[in-house]
């Protein structure tokens, strides 16, 4: 367990704008910062960060919290894991006792898998640097590719020994459980294994053998997968083997190199997209760090959204061969549809970024990128126009292909500019192109997004079913709802709980006199006296924590709950308490004078309490009335008396509320 003073130190150091800024690009908007939400797909920024309050909130999907909550949600970490991640970022020492085998068994499955991957990364580096086989084959390969030592270290490159079970045996010997070696995909179950038995060392062998290893990191820098390249010349052996999908690795969401490149992408406001691991590494060695690869898979919408959080400008650097051009053609529609500004660059003589960088100097490589990067429309138009000079049928097909790409662009103004440019380049009337674009957009409007794998549009649900899917389920009958009163009482306690008020009290001799107590104590006493608990579970959770703090002689405020260890609490407080608290202060900007709430706080609190009590009484009366229909006649009189008593109480409460009950 992390000591409380260390937790406070971490939270104080972890500025929300710095933490969030590592994962999305934030731009100043008034007193706040704005960016694209990393939790749901959006093209217009609605994710707001308040440096003053130390919180974030997305007005699109409702996600809200503090810096710890953000790391928990974005990197899928537990609260202690998120604290450790932040502690590492801010160089804060977290002293924890050594984990025993028993405690390791109690760790979550996800934690255990991440620990296995961390061990694997260290193991492969050690095998490459400290064994004769690793030095001669693994390190020899990277040196042959002219990689510097600092680059090899930066990307944590390693080597897996030829011996088929070397890694598996070493991992088990060091205390890592066979089941997690299998779950991470690092080890494979052999045919010798008998279904139902406990997995043992003899049942497993390594997924990777005799391969140089490329660790794949998530956004937070944790190793979640590997790519292994064979050094064998046997054509039957797969050149690359990548980790399978696991609970910690979703290949459609991970971009190779993003962890190391995101800062440079933000600074340069451009991202280079390449095909392979070595392409990313070679560009880093050439001093170009704003580069990522699609991690052993065709580019996906999720990967594009990851890039879009940092920049909307992308340069596609695919190989000059036929496969590279096909990959480029698949990627362009996806990128355009997500609102990216797309530029292209092809290397000569079927080179890729890796091979080309080794043929030229660093300066020449930079110069080539600068001089040969072209907008996708100019690139495609010129290339295809040259190929179909004297063939009008082919020319028509090419124009249609380009127009289909333009039709995918979501921004009306940018789309119009491209239509005009295409008209000039392809020597065709602008209105003809516009009509074709409109026709395509109408057709695509009834279909789902472009599928980069198949190159097709898959049928979408009907508009009716889409609407129905987002509508909340409405209960047949909702008689009583206590949410507004419960939320308001929590808001008062969190914002004015320490305000002192005078109440009438009686001493042991039943003599009346005034007594000074805090507003929080007054509310809690009223709830306790009438045995009222909150109906909404999250409201009760906040109330329970408030009572716990009060019992420890502390009156917690907004800061305590917005920084709560429970993400449900912090999210609720930011969404429903802080927002409501600030609402009244904004009226003055419209010239409306608002009486300071604190001056009438006692009366306002009493009104909310009585309103809640009146609703509770209504609920009790309703229950008794239902009971009256089913009880035997001899019990009916008792129930009826209870109804009359509750009704009298309700009348008294209504008088206190200033309501006239018409009979």
The reply to whether the predicted model has a pTM over 0.75 is: no
Those residues of the chain that have pLDDT short of 70 are: 1, 4, 96-107, 295-296, 320-321, 324, 383-385, 388-389, 444-480, 505-510, 579-599, 650, 652-663
The token pair at 589 is: 């900007």
The token pair at 46 is: 């609605």
Helix-then-strand count for the chain, H and E: 30, 20
Q: Given this model, what pLDDT does residue 587 score?
A: 44
The answer to whether residues 149 and 143 touch, using CB atoms and an 8 Å cutoff, is: no
At residue 657, the 3 state secondary structure works out as helix
HSE of 264, CA atoms in CB hemisphere, 13 A: 15
CA-closest candidate to residue 81, choices 222, 253, 247: 222
Cite the beta strand spans of 53-206 per DSSP E: 55-58, 64-65, 158-160, 187-189, 204-206
**Backbone Cα Rg of the chain:** 32
**CB atoms inside a 10 Å sphere around CB 562:** 23
**Cα three-residue angle 548-551-557, rounded to 5 degrees:** 65
Q: Cα separation of 85 and 108, whole Å? A: 17
Q: Cα separation of 266 and 145, whole Å? A: 29
CA-closest candidate to residue 134, choices 169, 163, 164, 158: 158
**Cα three-residue angle 359-361-362, rounded to 5 degrees:** 120
The answer to whether residues 290 and 262 touch, using CB atoms and an 8 Å cutoff, is: no
CA-closest candidate to residue 409, choices 332, 339, 316, 314: 339
Q: Cα separation of 317 and 286, whole Å? A: 15
Judging by beta carbons within 10 Å of its beta carbon (0-12, 13-18, 19+), is residue 509 exposed, middle or buried?
A: exposed
Residues in contact with 116: Cβ distance below 8 Å, sequence separation at least 6, in sequence order? 171, 176, 180, 181, 184, 186
Torsional class of 362: left (φ above 0), alpha (ψ -120 to 50), beta (otherwise): alpha
Q: Cα separation of 51 and 455, whole Å? A: 43
Q: Cα separation of 76 and 219, whole Å? A: 11
**Cα three-residue angle 381-387-393, rounded to 5 degrees:** 90
Query: DSSP states of 36-64 as a string?
Result: --SSS--SS--EEEETTTTEEEETTT--E
Cite the beta strand spans of 497-539 per DSSP E: 500-506, 512-518
Judging by beta carbons within 10 Å of its beta carbon (0-12, 13-18, 19+), is residue 583 exposed, middle or buried?
A: exposed
Cite the beta strand spans of 307-353 per DSSP E: 313-318, 341-346
Beta strands 291-293; 271-274: pairing state: parallel
The token pair at 265 is: 């992408």
Q: Cα separation of 624 and 429, whole Å? A: 78
**Cα maximum dimension of the chain:** 111
Secondary structure element (H or E) that encloses residue 27, with its range: strand 27-29
What percentage of the chain's residues is helix, strand, coil (to nearest 5)?
Answer: 55, 15, 35
Q: Name the residue with tokens 């899928």.
A: 76
Alpha-helix residue ranges (DSSP H) falling in 461-536? 463-470, 483-496, 519-529
The rounded Cα 585 to chain-centroid distance in angstroms is 32
At residue 311, the 3 state secondary structure works out as coil
Q: Give the chain's end-to-end CA distance (angstroms, integer).
A: 61
**In this structure, which long-range contacts are made by residues 229-237, counting pairs with CB atoms below 8 Å and at least 24 apart in sequence?**
229/277, 231/137, 231/141
Q: Given this model, what pLDDT does residue 255 score?
A: 93
Residues in contact with 479: Cβ distance below 8 Å, sequence separation at least 6, in sequence order? 619, 622
Q: Given this model, what pLDDT does residue 272 score?
A: 95
Output the CA–CA distances (angstroms, integers) from residue 147 to 264, 281, 353, in the order listed.
21, 8, 14
Q: Given this model, what pLDDT does residue 278 score?
A: 93
Q: Given this model, what pLDDT does residue 215 score?
A: 96
Q: Cα separation of 139 and 350, whole Å? A: 27
Query: DSSP states of 176-222 as a string?
Result: --HHHHHHTTSEEE-TTPPTTSPP-GGGEEES--SEEEEEEE-TTS-
Q: pLDDT digit string (tens) for 83-105?
A: 888 888 888 888 765 556 665 55
């Amino acid at each position: 367990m992390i000591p409380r003073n260390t937790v406070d130190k971490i939270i104080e150091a972890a500025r929300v704008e710095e933490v969030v800024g590592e994962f999305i690009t934030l731009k100043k908007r008034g007193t706040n910062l704005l960016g694209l939400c990393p939790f749901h797909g959006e093209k217009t920024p609605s994710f707001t960060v308040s440096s003053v309050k130390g919180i974030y909130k997305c007005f699109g999907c409702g996600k809200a919290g503090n810096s710890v909550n953000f790391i928990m949600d974005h990197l899928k970490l537990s609260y202690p894991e998120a604290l450790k991640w932040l502690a590492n970022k801010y160089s804060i020492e977290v002293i924890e006792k050594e984990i025993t085998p028993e405690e390791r068994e109690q760790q979550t499955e996800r934690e255990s898998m991440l620990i296995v991957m961390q061990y694997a990364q260290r193991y492969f580096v050690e095998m490459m640097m400290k064994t004769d086989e690793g030095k001669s084959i693994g390190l020899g390969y990277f040196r042959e590719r002219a990689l510097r030592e600092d680059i090899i270290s930066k990307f944590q490159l390693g080597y897996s020994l030829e011996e088929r079970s070397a890694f598996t045996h070493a991992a088990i010997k060091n205390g890592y459980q066979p089941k997690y070696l299998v779950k991470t995909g690092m080890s494979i179950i052999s045919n010798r294994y008998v279904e139902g038995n406990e997995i043992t060392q003899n049942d497993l062998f390594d997924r990777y053998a005799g391969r140089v290893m490329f660790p794949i990191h998530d956004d937070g820098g944790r190793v979640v997968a590997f790519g292994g390249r064979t050094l064998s010349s046997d054509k039957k052996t797969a050149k690359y083997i990548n980790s399978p999908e696991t609970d910690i690795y979703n290949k459609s969401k991970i971009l190779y190199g993003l962890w190391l490149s995101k800062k440079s992408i933000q600074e340069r406001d451009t991202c280079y997209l390449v095909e392979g691991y070595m392409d990313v590494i070679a560009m880093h060695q050439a001093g170009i760090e704003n580069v990522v690869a699609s991690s052993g898979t065709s580019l996906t919408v999720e990967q594009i959204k990851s890039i879009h959080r940092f920049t909307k400008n992308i340069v596609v650097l695919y190989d000059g061969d036929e496969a590279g051009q096909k990959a480029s053609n698949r990627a362009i529609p996806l990128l355009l549809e997500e609102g990216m500004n797309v530029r292209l660059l092809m290397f000569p003589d079927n080179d890729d970024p890796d091979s080309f960088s080794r043929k030229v100097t660093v300066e020449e490589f930079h110069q080539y990128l600068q001089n040969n990067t072209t907008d996708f429309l100019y690139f495609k138009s010129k290339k295809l126009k040259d190929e179909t000079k004297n063939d009008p049928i082919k020319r028509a097909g090419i124009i249609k292909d380009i127009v289909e790409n333009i039709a995918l662009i979501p921004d009306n103004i940018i789309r119009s500019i491209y239509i005009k440019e295409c008209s000039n380049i392809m020597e065709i009337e602008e209105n003809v192109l516009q009509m074709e674009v409109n026709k395509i957009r109408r057709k695509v409007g009834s279909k789902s997004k472009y599928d980069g794998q198949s190159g097709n549009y898959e049928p979408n649900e009907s508009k009716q079913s889409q609407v129905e899917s987002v509508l909340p389920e409405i209960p047949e009958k909702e008689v009583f709802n206590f949410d507004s009163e419960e939320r308001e009482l929590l808001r008062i306690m969190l914002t004015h709980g320490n305000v002192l008020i005078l109440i009438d009290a009686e001493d042991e001799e039943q003599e009346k006199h005034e007594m000074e107590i805090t507003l929080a104590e007054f509310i809690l006493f009223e709830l306790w006296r009438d045995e009222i608990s909150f109906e909404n579970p999250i409201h009760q959770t906040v109330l329970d924590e408030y009572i716990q703090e009060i019992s420890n002689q502390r009156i917690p405020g907004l800061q305590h709950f917005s920084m709560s260890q429970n993400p449900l609490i912090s999210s609720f407080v930011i969404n429903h308490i802080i927002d409501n608290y600030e609402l009244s202060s904004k009226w003055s900007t419209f010239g409306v004078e608002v009486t300071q709430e604190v001056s009438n706080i006692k009366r306002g609190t009493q009104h909310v309490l009585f309103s809640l009590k009146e609703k509770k009484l209504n609920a009790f009366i309703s229950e008794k009335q239902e009971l009256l229909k089913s009880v035997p006649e001899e019990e009916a009189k008792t129930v009826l008396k209870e109804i009359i008593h509750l009704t009298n109480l309700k009348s008294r409460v209504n008088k206190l509320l200033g309501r006239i009950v018409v009979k």
